[in-house]
Amino acid sequence: MTFYSPTSGERVGLSFIEPRTVDDLIRRRDMVKIWMDATYCMFGRSPDFMNILVTAFAGGRFRR
């Protein structure tokens, strides 16, 4: 559910990871699945959905 931030070295939620590899995407997908399984999908959107959206935009800025 967490990873070590490359800037601060502290553990932060996987929703903040900017995926660079397929493994990063799989780790983040598994984190979202844990949220959904734990809440029986009653959250609708987990608290981390906006972090995932913003990091997707940030990661896309280098790809053209």
What residues does each domain of the chain span? 2-60
Q: Residue 11 in contact with residue 4, Cβ under 8 Å?
A: yes
CA 22, 28, 31, 37 dihedral sign is: negative
Q: What is the Cα–Cα distance from 8 to 21, expressed in whole angstroms?
A: 21
Residue 5's pLDDT band, with cuts at 50, 70 and 90, is very high
| Phi and psi at residue 4, to the nearest 5° | -85, 125
Q: Per residue in 18-62, pLDDT tens?
A: 888 899 989 999 998 998 898 887 877 777 788 888 888 887 765
Tokens linked to 3: 């990873």
Tokens linked to 28: 């983040």
Q: Is CATH 1.10.3140.10 the right assignment for the domain spanning 2-60?
A: yes
Residue 4 bridge partners (DSSP): 11
